[in-house]
Structure formats: C-alpha cells, structure tokens
Amino acid sequence: EIFNEELEGSFEGVGMEIGIRNDQLQVIAPLPGTPAEKAGLRSGDKIFAIDGEDTLEMSVEDAVLRIRGERGTTVTLTISSDGLSDLRDVDVVRDTIRVDSVTWEIKDGIARVRISFFNGDTGARWREAIQEMLTSGAKGLVVDLRNNPGGLLDSAIEVAGEWVDGRPVVIERIQGVDQPMSGSGRARLADLPTVVLVNGGSASASEIVAGALKDYDLATIVGETTFGKGSVQDYQELSDGSSVKLTIAEWLTPNGNSIHETGIEPDVAVEFSLEDLENGLDPQMDAALQIINGTYDFSPETQNDPASS
C-alpha cells in the first residue's frame, strides 16, 4: 500500500526517501517543499533512531512504517550528518505529501524542468513540458534531477527516450545475463543543448536517465556524484490488495558501467553548500545556465572524464 501511494503521488508522512548504506539507515533524498526538507534533512544524513527506537536492526520497510503517519502528528528522528559526533533530534510534523513529479518554466529562452520522482504521472507531464518548450523555441534545457530518489523504470526510460531514440537507455543484468532496454521516444530533444543537474540525492531511475545521456554525450552532467542505487525493483499486487516489492536485478549504463554503489560522476563538478542554501544561492543551476549560454569557465579542476566502457 505504501509503495502504491508513492507511485500515485500522494501519501501522509514527512516526504523523503530512505535506504540502507554500510548497514546504516540514511536519507537518500528529501522531496522538495516537504516537511523533511523544511526541517533541514539532507541527502546522506544518517538516522540512528526513530521516536527513540534504535534503527541498527531496523529494515527500511519497518522504518518507513514508523516515519509515516497521520497528518499533523510528529515523528522525532535522531540524526547525524557526519557520524556519531553530532547526534541531534529533529522533530518533523507529518503532512499530506503530494508529489508533482514534473514542473517547468521557460525563462530567457531556457527551459528548466524539475523531475522530482518518476511515477505514473511523469510521462504525461513530461510530454506537456516538451510540447511547451518546443512551441516556445527554447534554446536550451536544464533537467533538474537533484534529490530525485527514483521511481518507475518505465517512466525513466520514456523520459530518456526523447534524447536517446531507439538505442538502449539502460541494461538490466539478471543472473549474469544482460538485457538492453530501449526508449521509444522520437528523440525530439537530441539537438537541444541540455544540462542535467544531479547530486547525492539523485538515485535509482534518475541515475538511469543521467547515465544514458552522459554515455551518449547528449547532455552535460553538472553537480555532485549521485547516490549509487543500481538495483532493479519490481512489485506485484496480491489478491488481498497488498503489494510485494522485490529487488530482482542490477542496472548498468548503456556503456556497461555499474551504477550500484558508485553512482554517476558529473562532467562538471559543482558543490551546493549549506551556506549556499541558507543564502538562497544555487551555484549548480547558475553553472547550468552559463553552460547553455556559452559563458561557463571550463577549468580543469571542475571537469571529470566522460563515462566510458
């Protein structure tokens, strides 16, 4: 039921994706505008307790059930950003979380599209955004996948297909057998200068999109290395209305590079500090706009080698 609520885009909770890395429960990404983001939770924050209950032996599913709850109630998370040295309690008031998966604006001839989550509405909203940017004659596109924790694989493939066309978007490796999965889009964006913004909260399906565009040299990836959640999850609805969520395979980029645990490195590394956030600055978006406008200073220390097989 919880997984279905996420895919439908509405649930009651604090609005963040969590996972386990190195045996520690942690925040993958807070969704924009949610109680989790407003409380100051950030990608990579470690969760040591939920309402006083130690998370050491807690599964992700159990943690989600404890964090979710009725709108207006409070959950207390014991958080550390850098280990055990700065443990602090963060009280977060639950709310109804509505995930508008795709939002966009066109400003100064550049389309800025924010994809917050890949759910059942993403494809239709994405097509609306494309139609508007093509009609307006946009000269460039910034796709913001920061703090996008993933979602539906099919939605990610549909999004990438508007650049990649019929080529593989991602490779699924199941028990050692590789299965390329191709997009069905019309590659309407293949010639449009594109920058994709990513950070440590970009995971799973968002890494598939970034990885494909990076491998095919169809976009410049800007920001910070992504989370590295390269697993394939599927769910099946049971007769009682519940669903079983299963991890069944591994994701590779079109060039055969593993996403799991390593993530996608940006072509242009730009940090976004807490100080930037507090001052209302966005150096990553600034860099993206400068790249499209041809005014960015490509110094060697900001660039990484393109992904290769």
70-83 burial string, b = 16+ CB within 10 Å, else e? eeeeebebbbbbee
Q: Is 89 a catalytic residue?
A: no
Spatial contact of 7 and 152, defined as CB atoms under 8 Å apart? yes
- Element containing residue 215 per DSSP (H, E): helix 205-215
> What is the Cα–Cα distance from 217 to 231, expressed in whole angstroms?
24
- Element containing residue 93 per DSSP (H, E): strand 88-93
Catalytic choice (43, 202, 206, 229): 229
DSSP string, 240-309: TS-EEEEEEEEEE-TT--B-TTT----SEE----HHHHHTT--HHHHHHHHHHHT-----GGGB-PPP--
Residues 6+ apart with CB under 8 A from 187: 161, 162, 163, 164, 165
On the 0-12 / 13-18 / 19+ scale of CB atoms within 10 A, 4 is middle
Q: Is 107 a catalytic residue?
A: no
Tokens of 9: 């885009």
Catalytic choice (144, 165, 215, 267): 215
Catalytic choice (144, 204, 206, 267): 204
| Helix 153-164 / helix 205-215 crossing angle, nearest 10 deg | 20
Among 76, 73, 89, residue whose Cα is nearest residue 13: 73
Residues 6+ apart with CB under 8 A from 118: 101, 148, 150, 151, 152, 153, 155, 156, 159, 205, 206
Q: Is 204 a catalytic residue?
A: yes
Spatial contact of 207 and 119, defined as CB atoms under 8 Å apart? no
Q: Which residues participate in catalysis according to the annotation?
A: 204, 215, 229
